[in-house]
Amino acid sequence: MRPDMTPLRRRTVLAANWKMHKAPSDVGPYFASFRRATARLGKRLEIVFFPPAPLLAAVVEAVGGRAAVGGQNCHWEQEGAFTGEVSAPMIAAAGADYVLVGHSERRREFGETDEQCGSKLRAALAAGLAPVLCVGESLAERQKGRQRVVVIRQLTRAASGLAPAEYGRLLIAYEPVWAIGTGHTASPADAQEMHAAIRATLNTVAGSAAAVGIPILYGGSVKPGNTAALLAEDDVDGALVGGASLDPNDFAAIVAAAESASIA
């Protein structure tokens, strides 16, 4: 399923980040359960699975075009002496359409900089992928009231200067670091405030036509019980879900909650 390249139509996107979890033998049972649990849902939402790189092809086959698939990270070069890395063309060749760029775990554990995120984003676009640029402040930055400054800096440094058609393929995930895997979710009002700041920045960086269409997902301890309230906010266009996406029934419940919020 190729991502919609039309910049003016904003869409609802539910994304599952499996991080470094699951084995090949989990893929079949996961999607059998997920399909059963989502059989009654409409087809209005875009669903994307981000499995570890060795599972990409198996997940592409298992979803059979009913959902999209993405890599969790890519290198900025197409190939070369970068032991342990995976390039954007390799991810595309596995049948994926998306890639996460700048997840906070990559920034924290592997020292990824905004400039490297910008290079990865461009490599992803050149390979025909839709990059999901992850931005978000740490707890210390929020406690100092610096959340907007930090997120705007991450966004402008990585995503300035793209061509208009490239902005049509970009997605943003606002993931406050203090909310990832902690059980502490941003309140819907706090999420909306940050998403509005991100959209205003996109307006400057990408132009008004692109800015209205770029989906901005919220990530950070999204669960079935808090999805609808988050997605009811004007600028929250979907969710990037980590822990709760590992259980197919929990992720299906999040998809169902998102569907009811997007209908309401």
* Min separation Cβ 250 and ligand PEP, Å: 10
CA triplet 47, 94, 4: central angle to 5 degrees? Answer: 40
85 is catalytic: no
* Min separation Cβ 20 and ligand PEP, Å: 11
Closest among 45, 79, 70, 56 to 231, alpha carbons compared: 45
Q: Which among 46, 175, 233, 259 is annotated as catalytic? A: 175
103 is catalytic: yes
Ranked by CB distance to ligand PEP, the top (closest) residue is: 242
> How many CA atoms are closer than 13 Å to the CA of 113, on its beta-carbon side?
4
- 100 — phi, psi (to 5°)? -80, 140
Nearer to ligand PEP, 118 or 243 (CB): 243
- Contacts with ligand PEP by CB under 6 A lie at 17, 19, 175, 180-181, 219-222, 240-244
- Contact assessment for residue 246 and residue 18, using Cβ atoms and an 8 Å cutoff: yes
Nearer to ligand PEP, 124 or 210 (CB): 124
Nearer to ligand PEP, 3 or 243 (CB): 243
Nearer to ligand PEP, 133 or 244 (CB): 244
Distances in Å between the Cα of 264 and the Cα atoms of 2, 43, 156, 190, 232 are 27, 16, 33, 21, 8
* Min separation Cβ 254 and ligand PEP, Å: 10
Q: Catalytic positions, please? A: 103, 175
